[in-house]
């Protein structure tokens, strides 16, 4: 699959895969722009790129495990969704879950982008739903402990 990318800034870095079988492509902070994220703060990090995703596909923006575990920085919305008709700049809302200030360096890998197909549903109002063994049990109801 080919994804068209427009650089909104000459120094922007295109997404890259870290290995041959990586599901997520690394997204990079716009170079030459260091940003400090205070504890408990959320900061919008610019990537300087815009995407053209094919119809029927979405871009899901996930945390990078290294950034989250080493610096306590992860997307504030947990998983960002880039719709196929969005043409604006891809930005990552990084939240500092830690207790000390963290700096995101220009050109640093800040999140990973997974491109995935999606299904658009038609929602139908119903008076009743089919019965199942689980029923309305949720939030841990299927576990034994």
Residue 137: pLDDT band (50, 70, 90) is: confident
Which residues, 6 or more positions from 90, have their beta carbon under 8 angstroms from its beta carbon? 27, 47, 49, 50, 51, 59, 61, 82, 113
Supply the pLDDT for residue 36.
96
Cα-only R_g, the chain:
19
The H or E element containing residue 100 is none
| Residues ≥6 apart with Cβ < 8 Å to 84 | 53, 54, 55, 56, 57, 58
The domain limits of the chain are 4-117
- Looking at the predicted structure, is the pLDDT value of residue 82 above 70? yes
Q: What is the CATH number of domain 4-117?
A: 2.70.40.10
- Which pTM was predicted? 0.89
pLDDT in tens, 48-77: 999 999 999 999 999 999 999 999 999 999
Q: What is the pLDDT of residue 144?
A: 63
Q: Per-residue confidence at 145, pLDDT binned at 50, 70, 90?
A: low
- Indicate left, alpha or beta for 18 from its phi (over 0: left) and psi (-120 to 50: alpha): alpha
Mean pLDDT of 82-106: 97
Read off the pLDDT band of 139 (50, 70, 90): confident
What confidence tier does 140 reach under pLDDT thresholds 50, 70, 90? confident
> 3-50, pLDDT tens digit by residue?
999 999 999 999 999 999 999 999 999 998 899 999 999 999 999 999
Tens-place pLDDT, residues 98-114: 999 999 999 999 999 99
């Amino acid at each position: 699959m080919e994804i068209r990318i427009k650089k909104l800034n000459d120094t922007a870095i295109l997404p890259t895969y870290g290995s041959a079988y990586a599901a997520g492509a690394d997204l990079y902070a716009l170079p030459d722009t260091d940003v400090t994220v205070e504890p408990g703060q959320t900061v919008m990090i610019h990537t300087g790129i815009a995407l053209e995703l094919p119809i029927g596909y979405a871009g899901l923006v996930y945390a990078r495990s290294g950034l989250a575990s080493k610096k306590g920085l992860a997307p504030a919305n947990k998983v960002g969704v880039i719709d196929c008709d969005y043409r604006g700049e891809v930005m990552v809302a990084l939240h500092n879950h830690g207790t000390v200030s963290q700096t995101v360096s220009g050109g640093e890998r800040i999140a990973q982008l997974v491109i995935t197909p999606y299904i658009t549903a038609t929602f139908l109002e119903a008076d009743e739903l089919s019965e199942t063994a689980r029923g309305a049990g949720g939030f841990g109801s299927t576990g034994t402990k």
